[in-house]
């Protein structure tokens, strides 16, 4: 996280680390949204949007709308 980020949003600083299990959206779509349901997909993953969308290749044809959040200023290194 760059200093710019903390300057504009002081409460967004790092406070710790947590290990999580990653799953693709393709692996969960049928379970979370049975066939025939309208799906709205919001992605707010701080630098991992491409990875999220790659894991949704099969599901995107069922998703009605995708919202991708973005910063207008650079907040992260790399």
What is the rounded (10 degree) CA torsion for 45, 38, 65, 73? -30
Cβ contacts of 39 within 8 Å, gap of 6 or more = 29, 33, 59, 62, 63, 64
Instruction: Work out the average pLDDT over 10-28.
Output: 89
- Residue 57: its pLDDT value, please? 93
Q: Element (H or E) spanning 5, and its range?
A: helix 3-8
pLDDT tens for 22-69 read 999 999 998 888 887 889 999 988 778 899 999 999 999 999 999 998
- Residue 67: its pLDDT value, please? 95
């Amino acid at each position: 996280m760059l200093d710019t980020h903390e300057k504009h949003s002081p409460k967004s600083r790092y406070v710790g680390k947590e290990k999580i299990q990653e799953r693709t959206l393709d692996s969960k779509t049928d379970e979370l949204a049975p066939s025939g349901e309208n799906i709205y997909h919001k992605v707010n993953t701080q630098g991992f949007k491409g990875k999220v969308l790659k894991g949704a290749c099969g599901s995107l044809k069922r998703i009605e709308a995708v919202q991708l959040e973005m910063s207008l200023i650079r907040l992260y290194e790399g």
